[in-house]
Amino acid sequence: MDIFVQQLINGLVLGSIYALVALGYTMVYGILELINFAHGEVTMIGAMVALAAIGLIMGAAPELPGLVIVLGGVLVAIPACMLLGFSIERLAYRPLRRAPRLAPLITAIGISIVLQNVAMLVWGRQYIAFPPLLPQGRHEILGAHITDLQIFIVLLSVAIMLGLWFTVRKTRLGRAMRATAQSREVAELMGVNVNTVISATFLIGSALAAIAGVMVSAYYGLAHYYMGFMLGLKAFSAAVLGGIGNIAGAMLGGFLLGVVEALGAGYIGDLTGGFLGSHYQDVFAFFVLILVLVFRPSGLLGERVAARA
C-alpha cells in the first residue's frame, strides 16, 4: 500500500512537469500542425542556462537565501528560452510554412540535434549537479514520503496551468490563438495577426519549458545535454494521450502519464516475475503512446479527430 501511495506521489510530481512541457507541444501543434521536435531541447537549454546563472549568482552573492538564487536562475532561463523559441520559429519554421509536410518536420529534428550538440560543446558531456539550495523538508502521509520540493513543483505547475487556462479562455490573445487554431485563413480574414499569434505561442511554450527544465533538474538534482530528448518524447506522448491540440488534454495527459510511468516502474518487477526491472521505466510512455494511437487516436479529450492524411 505504501509503495502505491509513494509511486502515486512521485507520478504526480513527474506528471506535472510532463504537463508543462506537453503544453508547449500541444499549443504549437494546435496552431501549426507541426510537431516541434526541438521543444524538449528548449527545456534542456532552460535547465542549463538556469544552472549557469545559479552558479554565477552563488559566486557573486553566496549569502542570499537558496530560494532567491534559484529564482534568479529561473528568471534568466525564461527570457533565454523565449528568445530561443521565438528565433527557432522565425528562422526555421516560418519560411517552410507552405512547404510539403516532411520539410518542417525534418527541420525540427535538425534544430533539435543542433541544440543538443551546442549544449554539449558549451556545457560538456558530464552531468551537472543542481546545488542543494532548495528546502529539503520531508513529510509523511499514508506511509509515504513527500518532500517540500515535490509539493512546490506540483503547486507551481498547477498555478501556471491555471494562469495559462485563463489566458487562453479569457484574454484577447487567447481568443486569437483559439481562432488561429481553428482556421488560420479565416482568423486572418477576421483581422487576427496570425504571425503575432504564432510567435506568442512559441514564447509562452518556451517560457513553460524553461520552468519545467529547472523543475526537472532540481527534482533529479542533475542536468545533462541529453535530458531534453526523453523528456520531450514523453511530454509529446502525454500531449497525444490527452488529445493533441487540446490544452486541458495536455495537462490531464501529463499527470496521467506521470502516474502510469511511476506505478509501472514500481510494479513491473512483480508483474513479470523479476524478468523486467525498473530500468524499463522509459518504455511505458511509448507503450501508452502506441495504445492511444491504436484505440483512441484523438486522445482522451480531443474533440478534433486526428486527421487522416
Residue numbers 66-105 binding another protein by CB under 8 A: 92, 95-96, 98-105
Dihedral sign, Cα of residue 171, residue 177, residue 178, residue 179: positive
Q: Which of 6, 16, 43, 112 binds another protein (CB under 8 A)?
A: 112
Q: Are 169 and 175 in contact (CB under 8 A)?
A: no
Distance CA 257, CA 299 (A): 13
The nearer residue to another protein, 73 or 85, going by C-beta atoms, is: 85
Binding status of residue 130 toward another protein by CB under 8 A: no
Distance CA 6, CA 131 (A): 25
Q: How many CB atoms lie within 10 A of CB 142?
A: 12
Binding status of residue 271 toward another protein by CB under 8 A: no
Residue carrying the nine cell digits 510530481 = 13
Binding status of residue 43 toward another protein by CB under 8 A: no
If DSSP states are collapsed to H, E and C, what string results for 257-292?
Answer: HHHHHHHHHHHHHHHCCCCCCHHHHHHHHHHHHHHH
Distance CA 143, CA 122 (A): 43
The nearer residue to another protein, 46 or 232, going by C-beta atoms, is: 232
Q: Which of 83, 120, 141, 142 binds another protein (CB under 8 A)?
A: 120
| 144 sits in which H/E element | strand 144-147
Residue carrying the nine cell digits 542570499 = 64
Distance CA 114, CA 103 (A): 16
Distance CA 191, CA 223 (A): 43
Contact stretch for another protein (CB under 8 A) within 198-206, 225-233, 246-254, 258-266: 225-233
Closest approach, Cβ 307 to another protein, in A, equals 6
Distance CA 177, CA 180 (A): 5
Closest approach, Cβ 309 to another protein, in A, equals 4
Binding status of residue 109 toward another protein by CB under 8 A: yes
Binding status of residue 64 toward another protein by CB under 8 A: no
DSSP state of 63: T
C-alpha cell at 104: 518542417
C-alpha cell at 218: 532540481
Q: What are phi and psi of 127, to 5 degrees?
A: -70, 140
The nearer residue to another protein, 160 or 256, going by C-beta atoms, is: 256
Convert residues 22-41 into a mask of x (bound to another protein by CB under 8 A) and - (unbound).
------------xx------
Binding status of residue 116 toward another protein by CB under 8 A: yes
Convert residues 141-170 into a mask of x (bound to another protein by CB under 8 A) and - (unbound).
------------------------------
Contact stretch for another protein (CB under 8 A) within 51-59, 118-126, 184-192, 202-210: 118-126
The nearer residue to another protein, 69 or 285, going by C-beta atoms, is: 285
Convert residues 277-306 into a mask of x (bound to another protein by CB under 8 A) and - (unbound).
x-xx-xx-xx--xx--xx--x--------x
Binding site for another protein (CB under 8 A): 34-35, 92, 95-96, 98-107, 109-114, 116-118, 120-121, 229-230, 233, 236-237, 240, 274-277, 279-280, 282-283, 285-286, 289-290, 293-294, 297, 306-309
